[in-house]
Amino acid sequence: MYRCRHPEGCEHPEGGSWLQRDSKAFTELRKIVTNREWLGTMKYYTNCRQTWAVENFFSHTLLHYCPKQNSYSYDAYNIRNMLAVIDHNHHKEREVAVGQDGAPYSQAQVSRRTKQWVAYERKRPKDFSYIPGKYILNPYFS
């Protein structure tokens, strides 16, 4: 029922190789990852950093192109991820939407963490006029 969706005979990612257990790189990586002093600081880094940009990309962009309830072949999943990244990068610097009076649209939302209202400006709707050019230039679509 469940199986790996990679192409048959695929041992590891293209151009990549696994670290050998007896290599110096593996030993150094293991020292870093299992360092108790560093692991103690993880609580600080996981609780005090803003992750909204990553969460925004994942929930609003990636899940739009690769919904979890669907199954994709390895190539289809990669292409969908590429499209999600292209979409995100093209629209991340969108202008703020303005009304007829020229004032920016603003909205308020309750922060889950602080339970307080946070104001933010609404962005202009996405423009997909760049897509036909991307299809022509991308070797996956030719």
The model's pLDDT over 58-114, given as tens digits with 9 standing for 90+, comes to 887 788 888 888 898 988 888 888 888 888 888 888 888 888 898 888 888 888 878
- In a domain? residue 15: no
How many domains does the chain fold into? Answer: 1
pLDDT at 139 over 60: no
Residue 39 lies in a domain: yes
Looking at the DSSP bridge assignments, the partners of residue 110 are: 117
Let me know if residue 121 belongs to a domain.
Answer: yes
Residue 16 lies in a domain: no
**Residues 69, 78: contact at Cβ < 8 Å?**
no
132: in domain = yes
**Whether pLDDT at 2 is above 60:** no
What pLDDT, in 10s, does the model give residues 31-43? 888 887 777 766 6
* Domain limits for position 130: 24-141
**Banded pLDDT at 24 (limits 50, 70, 90):** very high
> Could you tell me if residue 12 is inside a domain?
no
pLDDT band at 137 (very low <50, low <70, confident <90, very high): low
Q: Please, which residues have CB within 8 angstroms of residue 66's CB and are 6 or more apart in sequence? A: 72, 77, 80, 81, 84
Which is more confidently placed, 28 or 35?
Answer: 28
* Range from 3-12, 21-30, 68-77, 102-111 carrying the lowest mean pLDDT: 3-12
Is residue 110 included in any domain, yes or no? yes
| Stretch among 42-56, 101-115, 117-131 having the lowest mean pLDDT | 42-56
In a domain, 135, yes or no: yes
Total residue count of the chain as it appears in this document: 142
